[in-house]
Amino acid sequence: MFMHIDTTPLLPDSLSYLLKLLDRFSTSNKSLTGTLYLTATHLLFIDAHQKETWILHHHIASVEKLALTTSGCPLVIQCKNFRTVHFIVPRERDCHDIYNSLLQLSKQAKYEDLYAFSYNPKQNDAERLRGWELIDLAEEYKRMGVPNSNWQLSDANRDYKICETYPRELYVPRIASKPIIVGSSKFRSKGRFPVLSYYHQSKEAAICRCSQPLSGFSARCLEDEHLLQAISKANPANRYMYVMDTRPRHRVQSWWATQKDIGRIIVRISSKIWNDEKIRESDEKKRLNAMANRAAGKGYENEDNYSNIRFQFVGIENIHVMRSINGTKGLSVNDFYSGLESSGWLRHIKAVMDAAIFLAKAIEAESASVLVHCSDGWDRTSQVCSLGSLLLDPYYRTIRGFMVLIEKDWISFGHKFSERCGHLDGDPKEVSPVFTQFLECVWHLTEQFPQAFEFNEAFLLQIHEHIHSCQFGNFIGNCQKEREELKLKEKTYSLWPFLLDDQKKYLNPLYGSQSQKSAVLEPNTVSFNFKFWRNMYHQFDRTLHPRQSVFNIIMNMNEQNKQLEKDIKDLESQTDGILSKELLNSVRPESPALKATLSLKEQALLPVNDVLRTIEGSSPADNRYSEYADEFSKAEPAVVSLEYGVARMTC
Amino acid sequence: MEFAELIRTGQAQAELLRGPEEPPLRGTLCITGHHLLLSPGPQATPDLWLLLLRNVDSIEKRVAGDSGTITLRCKDLRVLQLDIEGVEATLDIARSIEALSSLESVITSFPFFYRPKGLRLGDAWHFHPPECYYKRVARETNAWRLSEANEDFSLCPSYPRAVIVPRAVDDSALARSARFRQGGRFPVLSYYHAPSGTVLLRAGQPLTGPQKRRCSEDEDLLRAVLAGARPGARGFIVDTRSPQAAKQARMTGGGTEAKAAYPGWKRLHRLLETGRPLQESFVRLVEACGDLEQSMDRWLNRLESCRWLSHVKETLSTACLAAQSMEQEGACVLVHGAEGTDSTLLITSLAQLILDPLSRTMAGFQELIEREWVQAGHPFQLRCAHSAFSHARPKHEAPTFLLFLDCVWQLGRQFPLSLEFGEGMLLALFDHAYASPFGTFLCNNEKERCLCEVRTRTHSLWSGLSQPKEQRKLRNPLYVPNPLAIWPSAEPQSLRLWQGLFLRGTRPPEPSEVAWEKVWQIVTDQEKTEGSQPTDSASEAGP
């Protein structure tokens, strides 16, 4: 992490308390005694070994005081990056003070109080500006191949007049005139009319996105129909297009039933996509059916396909619930899997993935354009569009490309980061891990295609860290308009240049097999392939992780190989030079210059592996089974397990 | 018996489907005494396809029109489909396979006929006798001796001829202790942990019975163990049954060590299920893994309810408990369940992997399996008679050895650099335990192996595996010797389903195999570049 420490001044009046930190997963009776400091931005715990634990106030999701025990008052802090810390404060008054301070510090009422506005990484204004210009979306659309003869840049939303939550620059079909756009926007929720999200140059097909049609309004909107027709006409390769409605069934209005007129053009695939119960067997059949219907000149209509899954606002609590089951007693395997099942989390991940695969197939196999929408078109729509593009376009699987993808489909199209991540004290019902789900989908792809991504897991974790940290301006605010009003580009820094500077840490050493690098990814979504993302949800529970990292080693070897090869080349060129010189001058064969280079190289060689290859044989005390060891020294195991809880608190 | 009697038809035209990714194979199908052969015809490039009939776990035939289909489910969890021309031929072939694959005679099995090129009979059989291990122990301590009291297998039929016992105990005492333990399995040394000077022992349950019998020689033996370790040493008896089950065993003549009779020893109970529950768990897991259509919830539900990962967790944490007692508490550990041939071996072998760096090398791991499984009398023939697909009512089958391999796999995932062997080795061991052309896993114990002359008439698996062409499959390219104990996490979040094994029949070869290829390439690149350095420095040298 490239954050804090030297940039965070301890407040002169910062509070400090002597207390103990417990580790949830190591049940060794040892707790760490140390001092807790509260600064303006961080909570800092320094233990007896001078080891520092920093926790950003913005990361704190909840603070909880537990019942008083003999040794003091337990305080449990849950963080948005899935860290859980358990302090024991000897004095109840102190605990109460800490509790209240943390409650205040972790919930900000105004954007201006967020860390990003005070964070100063010692860059000057020019550097800051360059940082913000690093990712240029206009450049990105150019890369995709728009504007072109079918798609153009529309200035309709230049002043955020039509849609406040869209960016200023939008790409629409060339034949869609401004009145059509304006008319369509009035018909769509929040004015989010259909616009281009991704253009597939070789297939000439597009991924478009919008929000749901307004109900209660006049049942039809000619402009909107025109706009959809324009999108389908903008694809010379295939006039048919798919409309993917990703809403759960109960939210769907009867609007589509009236759209028989354009049914000829629009083949609608309903939110069957979200019904993962039957998706596997039906997906292929459905598509065949749809094509057959199309051949017969009929639209594909089936209202019964909407499933009942409530998608949008489930999840994170469940994950928290699963984690908090974990008291002192170890979680049994059965609890773990039934918890995983009842949270429904993996089911949603699979549903998002299935939808994205469908989208990618429509474009890849049929060259058909796809219009994606959910209710407001900023949550599930963002997930499906971005994941679909990721499957189709290898560029998005590079470090820079992934930044572009997030900047385009999430930030610029108005995913409400501040509300979904709970940056400010607001409506807790708006908080939802939509973006985390997207990251997890990407992680699953990296697991299935270990050579297809330039970045590694650490990159995803770091991005997740910063959507909550509010340390950089990128994820603050809910849409571009709001960000401009906050003057984020003048007052805060962009995350991306810092990630790029640290690129080495985020590289996937296995990246680069041609077959996976350039191909359209076709992940397999059989249930077995979805696993619990331990490195995300237990990223701070060190004892649960593998003790040795294959990734680091390979990365290191790779680097070392490159270095060695370079050295050999250098040496060869030098020896060549020297040899020819020798021949010319006929000096002694043993050149001191050559010797010097050799010994230099040796030095360069030595330290490379030392750090990473250090063996981490962990201590058994780190692991849960050590609690059995306590039984050894006691007489009656049955009683000891009761005493045990107390014992832990008192020492 | 003549195999010819069982072969009803010589050959037929058939098409073979092997899996989602591999192309079908068409050609002439032949049955021999031990194999099913498919010869693709002269123009085709792939050579003969061959399946050991012993590998067939269940067979299913279907006839339609004038052709038939046979589905073979193999013990190594692969599923094959044969489409055969002609109804008669299909039925004949199916019946032949059924008859030949269920032959129980050991000496007519394939290892007695297998004579591969480049291997000599008798090679590698002498690699890992107990004498070798005793030499290692003797270098460290004088408290133990090699006893040949079991020379003629009269004390214990499931022990090898030579066992390591406390020096202070003579052979006649051993004989009496043997009578007091189930199956004659008196306490013997399994592992000597040099850093702490403690030992790991294994045995069968004591035959205390309802009268709470005692045996002073057995008590002396365990007292001698503590005395030999260091003055005042303590010991733990890890019983792999629940306290209730241990108590109940008294009714049938078994039981546990009475506290008063064994001063210095303390009993710990850790329930590890073996036998039928374990086999059922295995069958249900494989069943769940075969269903590609199930929803997420259903899959998680089945994964949970088959309890396989619970078994893995319990096994790992019990092994860690034993290892920890030795390393941290400086205590000696005796492990036994009822017979001492299943869960006992699981714990002793895993504890050694955790503690002993040598057992994590290729040679050391083979030695460990030979010593702690094959020669320690795990009844492979009974336990591995059927795998997960068999419809036969399970009698003695249990995937204990598979559970061991799974735990090792979990260790390997948590310490990817510390094991010299890779997943390929574990898969190979699984395959060979259930059906093999080699003799290593034949029979149930040393006595039977001697009677069948396995050592002189078959090849050892270890010589098969030591052939250079096998190495790349079996080795871990990233191995770095690690002198420390490796303590795995046994939390459910840290355990994973062993997809490489359980999903091998249902999924195409993983892209990660391609990734491993790349890892190999990087490692060999590294060796090459380093080799070509003028002064090969010590950058590679591990501790």
- Give the predicted TM-score (pTM) of the model: 0.82
Whether the Cβ atoms of residue A481 and residue A487 lie closer than 8 Å to each other: no
Give me B83's structure tokens.
């489409």
Instruction: Mutation target for A interface from B281, B311, B410, B493: give the one with most A CBs within 10 A.
Output: B493
Asked if residue A239 has pLDDT above 80, the reply is no
On whether any CB of chain A is under 8 Å from the CB of B313, the answer is: yes
Nearest-neighbour CA in chain A from B525: distance (Å)? 7
ipTM score for this prediction: 0.84
CB B257 within 8 A of CB B266: no
| Residues of A with catalytic roles | 374
Q: Does A402 score more than 70 pLDDT? A: yes
Task: State pLDDT tens for residues A492-502.
Answer: 999 999 999 98
* B509 to chain A: closest CA residue: A448
Put simply, the answer to whether B535 touches A528 (Cβ < 8 Å) is no
Strands (E), B48-183: 49-52, 56-64, 67-74, 79-85, 144-147, 163-166
Domains and CATH numbers, chain B: 3-103 (2.30.29.30), 130-522 (no CATH)
Cα A646 from Cα B62, distance rounded (Å): 65
Q: Pick the more confident residue, B471 or A385.
A: A385
CB A557 within 8 A of CB B527: no
Does A65 or A241 have the greater pLDDT score? A65
Residues 6+ apart with CB under 8 A from B247: B255, B256
Q: Which band of pLDDT confidence, cut at 50, 70 and 90, is reported for residue A15?
A: low
**Res A444: pLDDT:** 93
pLDDT of residue A279: 29
Q: What percent of chain A has pLDDT over 70?
A: 67
The yes-or-no verdict on residue A633 having pLDDT over 50 is no
Q: A124 or A395, which is more confident?
A: A395
What local confidence, expressed as pLDDT, does residue B344 receive? 93
Q: What is the pLDDT of residues B446-477, one digit of tens each?
A: 889 888 888 888 888 888 888 888 788 888 88
**What tens digit of pLDDT does each residue of B290-346 get?**
888 888 888 888 988 899 999 999 999 999 999 988 888 888 999 998 888 999 999
Measure the CA–CA gap between B78 and B56, rounded to whole angstroms.
Answer: 9
**Which amino acid is present at A640?**
V
DSSP state of A455: B
* Cα A129 from Cα A612, distance rounded (Å): 36
Which of A543, A557, A637 lies nearest to residue B489, judging by beta carbons? A543
Determine the pLDDT at residue A141: 94
Taking Cα atoms as reference points, which of A60, A134, A54 lies closest to residue A498?
A134
- Beta-bridged to residue A623, according to DSSP, are none
Task: Tell me the CA distances in angstroms from A53 to A56, A179, A462, A496, one per residue in order.
Answer: 10, 57, 17, 25
Q: Does B259 touch chain A (CB under 8 A)?
A: no
Q: Which of residues 273-312 of B touch A (CB under 8 A)?
A: 289, 292-301, 303-305, 307, 309-310, 312
Residue A280: the pLDDT is 31
- Nearest by CB to B304, from A338, A524, A621: name it: A338
Which chain B residues are Cβ-neighbours of A568 within 8 angstroms? 529, 532-533
Task: Lay out the sheet containing A195-200: strands in order across.
Answer: A195-200, A205-210, A369-373, A241-245, A266-269
Strands (E), A227-313: 241-245, 266-269
Identify the pLDDT of residue A17.
66
How far apart CA B390 and CA A34 sit, in angstroms, is 60
Average pLDDT in the A499-523 region?
82
Q: Residue A4 — pLDDT band, cuts 50, 70, 90?
A: very low
**For residue A375, what are the CA distances in angstroms to A154, A419, A431?**
24, 16, 16
- Rounded CA-CA distance B248/A435 in Å is 56
CB-CB under 8 Å, B539 with A609: yes
Instruction: Specify the higher pLDDT residue, A364 or A245.
Output: A364
User: Is A337 in contact with B538 (Cβ distance < 8 A)?
Assistant: no
Secondary structure class of B395 (helix, strand, coil): coil
Give the pLDDT of residue A467.
92
CB of B322 within 8 Å of a chain A CB? The answer is no
Whether residue A284 is predicted with pLDDT greater than 50 in this model: the reply is: no
The Cα B312–Cα A500 span in angstroms is 42
Report yes or no: A523 at the B interface, CB cutoff 8 Å. no
Chain A nearest C-alpha distance from B173 (Å) = 30
Please report the pLDDT score of residue B531 as a whole number.
61
Please determine, for residue A429, whether its predicted confidence score (pLDDT) is greater than 80. Answer: no
- State how far the Cα of A153 lies from the Cα of A136, in Å rounded to an integer: 15
Residue-level length of chain A = 651
pLDDT in tens, A608-620: 333 333 334 445 5
- The CB density around residue B60, as the number of other CB atoms within 10 Å, is 14
Q: Output A317 or A650, whichever has higher pLDDT.
A: A317
Give the per-residue pLDDT at A264: 30
Closest residue in B to A618 (Cα) is B487
Q: Give me the pLDDT at residue A309, please.
A: 23
Please check whether residue A544 touches B, CB under 8 A: yes
pLDDT of residue A634: 34
Q: Check residue B352 and give its pLDDT.
A: 94
The pLDDT confidence band at residue A647, using thresholds 50, 70 and 90, is very low
B411 in Cβ contact with B486 (< 8 Å): yes
In order along its 543 residues, chain B shows pLDDT tens digits of: 566 677 766 677 777 777 666 777 888 888 888 888 888 776 656 667 788 888 888 888 888 888 888 888 888 888 888 888 888 888 888 888 888 888 778 888 888 888 888 777 777 676 667 788 888 888 888 888 888 888 889 899 999 988 999 988 888 999 999 999 999 999 999 999 988 889 999 999 999 888 888 888 899 898 888 888 877 788 899 999 999 988 888 888 888 888 888 888 888 999 998 888 999 999 999 988 888 888 888 888 898 889 999 999 999 999 999 998 888 888 899 999 888 899 999 999 999 999 999 999 998 999 999 999 999 999 999 998 888 888 777 788 899 999 999 999 999 988 888 899 988 899 999 999 998 889 889 889 888 988 888 888 888 888 888 888 878 888 888 888 888 888 888 888 888 899 888 888 666 555 556 666 777 777 777 677 666 544 333 333 333
% of chain A beyond a pLDDT of 90: 20
Asked if A554's CB is within 8 angstroms of B266's CB, the reply is: no
Partners of B72 in the β-ladder: B59, B80
The dihedral built from the CA positions of residue A563, A565, A566 and A571, taken in this order, carries a sign that is: positive
B243 contacts: CB under 8 Å, gap ≥ 6: B269
Instruction: Provide the mean pLDDT of chain A.
Output: 71
